[in-house]
Amino acid sequence: MIKEIQNTPHFQVITDNQGLAQICEQAQQHSVVALDTEFIRVRSYYPKLGLIQLYDGEQVSLIDPNDISDFAPFIALLANQNVLKVLHACSEDLEVFQYYFQQLPTPLLDTQMMANFLAFPNSTGFASLIQHYFDLALDKGASRTDWLARPLSAKQLAYAAADVWYLLPLYHKMAEQLAQMPWQGESSIQSAVQFDCHLLLEKAQKSKDPDKAYVNIPNAYKLNAEQLMRLKLLASWRQGEAIKRDLALNFVVRAESLFLVAMHNPKNTSALLQLGINPQEVRIHGKKMLQLIEQLKRLDPADYPSPMVRFSEDPRYKKAIKALREKLQEMTPHNFASELIASRKSLDKLMKWVWLKQKDPNKLPDLMRDWREPFGRKLCALLENH
């Protein structure tokens, strides 16, 4: 019988450098550890770390970061290539590690990613997997809680400990099941899972280019080149301001306000208010936004961004996406979700790569990498006939 399922989690709280060094040294003796973080992100640009959970198979440690000044032992553990780190739905945890420690947990396996390959619905939650494998209902009562408050309650600590206490046996159970799964690719199913976890790490390392911030503003495709240049200046400034003040983007200025300013080119603060822009945004940032759009007079129109083309409006698009989806369904192995091979977004990226980027080998879409490449090649062949 699995000890974690028989017993409730026992844990220790780590609050100083010495304690952290000790548990990290102990964890480095194990081939696999479970990791999780608790953080808050409401109004801030960056996540605010409240707690780190670590379980090495013997000891659950809840690391309180507030009074720890030397994280070198923990960073060394994150980087240790001989210790596999297991997390669940880890994309936001990776942001935490990247921001606080400039080190991602490698090598990494994500149990939500493993679940995708085991034919669970996309984004299956941790509690659902524990219920499925161990017939155990987890108490999720403390999930929405203030992890920055001190002292943390006994209920909060027990909730946090459970997240890693049950994660390790879950990983072992799923790894066992994956090893028995039939796989039609050239590589093993385990290496396919590892590649998808590697993609998570890759994404977490990408920095957000302020010069590209404008492309994420809703409805930007409606603007002409001059209006887009205004939007580019505004969005780049907003991102810099958000980072400087550690404030979520829309708490600096809402995206729709930037869009309106870029579109209508107002000349004064009264005109900003007439556009329906929040008076507080006008009071705090109105003059700055007007100064930014004034810069256009000094810029060469040749440097304006090209108007954005909505790919779905390409006359070939509807027919091609339908053909791709049909081909994908036909190629998808039995007991395997076609979305795992290619989402709608990744089919769009493949089309752009073939039609617009002349199959640039330096900018391969995910569908042309690793285990997906044989599927991608067949889909490419189909596209070339459209």
> Are residue 164 and residue 261 in the same domain, yes or no?
no
Token code pair at residue 218: 């809703």
Q: Which residues are designated catalytic? A: 36, 38, 93, 159, 163
Q: How far is CA 153 from the centre of its chain?
A: 29
> Are residue 219 and residue 196 in the same domain, yes or no?
no
CATH of the domain at 69: 3.30.420.10
> Are residue 199 and residue 224 in the same domain, yes or no?
no
> Are residue 151 and residue 233 in the same domain, yes or no?
no
- Provide the b/e sequence for 295-321 (b: ≥16 CB within 10 Å): eeeeeeeeebbeeeeeeeeeeebeebb
> Are residue 172 and residue 295 in the same domain, yes or no?
no
Q: Domain span at residue 12?
A: 3-205
> Are residue 91 and residue 215 in the same domain, yes or no?
no
Helix (H) or strand (E) holding 287: helix 279-294
CATH of the domain at 225: 1.10.150.80
> Are residue 25 and residue 151 in the same domain, yes or no?
yes
> Are residue 191 and residue 321 in the same domain, yes or no?
no
For residue 17, report the phi and psi dihedrals to the nearest 5 degrees: -60, -40
Of the residues 205, 226, 254, which one is the last residue of a structural domain?
A: 205
Query: pLDDT value at position 358?
Result: 85
* pLDDT tens digits, 156-212: 999 999 999 999 999 999 999 999 887 766 678 899 999 999 999 999 999 899 999
| Bridge partner list, 34 | 55, 86
Low-confidence ranges of the chain (pLDDT < 70): 1, 184-186, 386
Contacts of residue 373, Cβ cutoff 8 Å, sequence gap at least 6: 367
Rounded Cα gap, residues 153 and 170, in angstroms: 26
> Are residue 363 and residue 219 in the same domain, yes or no?
no
Q: Quick check: helix, strand or coil at residue 87?
A: strand
The beta strand positions in the chain, using DSSP E, are 11-14, 32-40, 48-55, 60-63, 84-87, 108-110
Query: pLDDT value at position 244?
Result: 97
Answer whether 94's CB lies under 8 Å from 204's CB: yes
Could you give the angle at which helices 255-264 and 225-245 cross, rounded to 10 degrees?
Answer: 150
> Are residue 216 and residue 190 in the same domain, yes or no?
no
Contacts of residue 55, Cβ cutoff 8 Å, sequence gap at least 6: 33, 34, 61, 164, 165, 167, 168
Query: pLDDT value at position 166?
Result: 97
Rounded Cα gap, residues 28 and 80, in angstroms: 8
Of the residues 181, 205, 229, which one is the last residue of a structural domain?
A: 205
- The whole model's pTM is what? 0.92
Of the residues 303, 336, 353, which one is the last residue of a structural domain?
A: 303
Give the number of domains in the chain.
Answer: 3
Give the burial class of 197: count Cβ atoms within 10 A of its Cβ; 0-12 exposed, 13-18 middle, 19 or more buried. Answer: buried
Query: pLDDT value at position 386?
Result: 65
Match 């339908």 to its residue by tokens: 322
> Are residue 200 and residue 214 in the same domain, yes or no?
no
Query: pLDDT value at position 184?
Result: 67
> Are residue 151 and residue 219 in the same domain, yes or no?
no
Q: What does the longest C-alpha to C-alpha distance in the chain come to?
A: 74
Rounded Cα gap, residues 166 and 144, in angstroms: 19
